[in-house]
Amino acid sequence: MTLKRKKIAVIGSGYTGATAAFLVAQKELGDVVLVDIPTAENPTKGKALDMWQAAPVQGYDAYITGTSNYEDTKDSDVVLITAGVARKPGMTRDDLVQINQNVMKSVSKEIATYSPNAIVIVLTNPVDAMTYTVYKETGFPKHRVIGQSGVLDTARFRAFIAEELQMSVKDVTGFVLGGHGDTMVPLTRYATVGGIPLETLIEKERLDAIVDRTRKGGAEIVNLLGNGSAYYAPAAAMVEMAEAILKDQKRVLPAIAYLEGEYGYHDLYLGVPTLLGATGIERIFELTLTEDEQQALDQSAKAVEEVKNVLK
Ligand SMILES: NC(=O)C1=CN([C@@H]2O[C@H](COP(=O)(O)OP(=O)(O)OC[C@H]3O[C@@H](n4cnc5c(N)ncnc54)[C@H](O)[C@@H]3O)[C@@H](O)[C@H]2O)C=CC1
Ligand SMILES: O=C([O-])CC(=O)C(=O)O
């Protein structure tokens, strides 16, 4: 029997990759191929086997395999890139640019060879610049190369608001614009709780503190973990994007998209509100911003541009 399921390759079987693979399987989005570099032992194969053995208990029909051979990823529908190095306390995401750019180059070559029609979602940091690298190196059209930051940053923002107001996270909506760094722009003016404007529910001082905590959300976890960075929420964010694409859900989610004039930026990957469906990014929403919001976004875009300019 040949099963005609979707195929999802997860490159990098570390914390975020393994967690994403498990979520993809649990959601039955398709079969998963987990890939990492070859080593003397074989933790990638071990993790995949362990997850496959959870299938009878959890009752999911998704097969998970682990490999270091890209041939096994052939004809993947979606590829999630989590390969590379994570930061440690005291480092910024941008400190990873050189080492991870090299990883993106080698991984992109394999993806272009074995899955030329795939939609790629990049997680590896500094993610705006790494998404740009994958776009250039694969030669894929812009709508098929997408970066993950906004779903995660918005999730943090929503979680902090729900906690502050003691209201359900389900009812908190909003989004974060810009680069995945300390200059990101949580748009409080567009956030609501059950449709009620957020700015009428929380006083400005508290809201400013939540915005600041959101911007530094990654570093807060890096400092708590001590030896690596967040992985549960990042993996969940990536998988939400993959699900939107694999099921053609037409979700409106923030994503790192290639801009050609939108918001005034050219030849730049930056976080903006998008429509995600079967073909990847199907639309970019351009909102009218206040002068202050545009200024904050300009600052964030400048920070991303600076990292892009050191790419080789
Ligand atoms: N964009 C975002 O919102 C987030 C980004 N990240 C980033 O995701 C990346 C991965 O984080 P973790 O999974 O925690 O790191 P990790 O260190 O647990 O896993 C990374 C894995 O990549 C593998 N790898 C390295 N070079 C490779 C290559 N050439 N081919 C295949 N695999 C390779 C490593 O062997 C390792 O297993 C980091 O760069 C981190 O900063 C993490 C969380 C959120
Ligand atoms: O902070 C990091 O290095 C990992 C990351 O991007 C996040 O958790 O937002």
The full length of the chain comes to 312
ipTM of this predicted complex? 0.99
Identify the band that residue 4 occupies on the pLDDT scale cut at 50, 70 and 90.
confident
Integer CA distances (angstroms), 230 to 42, 110, 156, 161, 223, in order: 23, 27, 12, 20, 10
- Nearest residue by C-alpha to atom 11 in ligand 1: 86
Percent of the chain with pLDDT over 90: 99
Distance CA 194, CA 59 (A): 34
Asked if 300 and 182 touch (Cβ cutoff 8 Å), the reply is no
130 lines ligand 2 (CB under 6 A): no
Active site residue 180: yes
Q: What is the DSSP annotation of 175-204?
A: -EEB-SSTT-EE-GGG-EETTEEGGGTS-H
In eight-state DSSP terms, residue 75 is T
Residue range 88-114, pLDDT digits in tens? 999 999 999 999 999 999 999 999 999
84 lines ligand 2 (CB under 6 A): no
Task: Return the SS3 of 28.
Answer: coil
Residue range 273-301, pLDDT digits in tens? 999 999 999 999 999 999 999 999 999 99
Give me the catalytic one of 6, 7, 180, 308: 180
Residue range 30-59, pLDDT digits in tens? 999 999 999 999 999 999 999 999 999 999
**Reported pTM:** 0.98
Task: Return the SS3 of 126.
Answer: coil
- Nearest residue by C-alpha to atom 19 in ligand 1: 14
